[in-house]
Amino acid sequence: MQVESQITSRANPRFKSLRALLAAGGQRRSHTLLLGEKVVLAWFQASAGCRDRLRPDLWLRLEGAAPHPLERRLARETLVLGEALMRDLADAASPPEHALLASLGPEPAGALADLVIVPWAIQDPGNLGAMVRSAAAFGFQEALLGPLCADPFSPKALRGSMGAAFLMPLRRTGSLAPDGAHWFALDGGPGALPLAQADLRAPLRILVGNEGHGWQGAQLPAWVQRVAIATSGVESLNAAVAAGIACFETARRAGA
């Protein structure tokens, strides 16, 4: 029989425990929230390998909302929360009717996939989520996150990816190492190779620098080539937009 409990007060010890659990970020994060029916369904429909990175612990339902069919199917306890409490946990002005508390499994190991997006010091979780979404849409198979990146498993980043984070492995790295692949860093600075001239055949790694200063001041290894996306009338592109263009161009050439 499925267990259902209700919390109505922020002073409830269990609610305080949930808030503390979700407050930890980055590599200290052990749990996250999948916010809303669309994100939960995207996780549930993902392949087993990617879905298993997040393991369901607790279903959260907004007070007054109808039970969701997945509640019974997942066979986890349901916790019913008032609007103010759900808003607090979701950190959203408009709280979702349903959310899933999930624990994080270990990061992937072994060789990288053929097509990898490499966000580097991308600090906005929405940008990071959008970048992962674009990469997945154009056939990239993995995301390798460099230092100072936003937490890819924060609820905001997962929501920004609209479920794309469940379509590919995500792992972190503190440094770059050559692996026989083509490595390109998106950079509009002087001396950068036009994207149209870059060899985008797999194995391929596309690096995307910080939203504000890109690769300014960074010492990229000699085997990483800087490439530029031609623009007209603007100095630079949003990091997530630039990543999307590079991933699309990779897919376009592969299908040509």
- Domain map (residue ranges) of the chain: 4-104, 115-255
pLDDT at site 216: 77
pLDDT value, residue 18: 95
* pLDDT at site 166: 86
Least confident of 25-29, 143-147, 231-235: 231-235
Q: Which residues neighbour 25 within 8 Å (Cβ) at sequence distance 6 or greater?
A: 151, 154
pLDDT at 111 over 90: yes
Q: What pLDDT, on the 0 to 100 scale, is given for residue 218?
A: 76
CATH topology for the 4-104 domain: 60s Ribosomal Protein L30; Chain: A; (3.30.1330)
Which of 10-19, 97-106, 152-161 bottoms out in mean pLDDT, i.e. has the lowest?
Answer: 152-161
CB 147 within 8 A of CB 121: yes
Residue 1 has pLDDT above 60, yes or no: no
For 97-113, what is the mean pLDDT?
Answer: 93
Overall average pLDDT of the 191-212 stretch: 94
Q: Over the stretch 166-196, which tens digit does the pLDDT of each residue have?
A: 888 999 999 999 999 999 999 977 789 999 9
- With tokens 């939960």, the residue in question is 40
Question: Cα(first)–Cα(last) distance of the chain, in Å?
Answer: 55
* pLDDT given at position 30: 94
Q: What is the per-residue pLDDT across 112-129, written as a single tens digit (0 to 9) for each?
A: 999 999 999 999 998 999
Per-residue model confidence (pLDDT) at position 143? 96
In the sheet with 182-186, reading across from the earlier edge strand, the strands are 170-172, 142-145, 115-119, 204-208, 182-186, 224-228, 193-194
Q: Which CATH architecture has domain 115-255?
A: 3-Layer(aba) Sandwich (3.40)
Per-residue pLDDT reduced to its tens digit, 47-68: 777 778 899 999 999 999 999 9
**Is the full-model pTM beyond 0.85?**
yes
Which of 28-42, 94-108, 205-219 comes out lowest in average pLDDT? 205-219
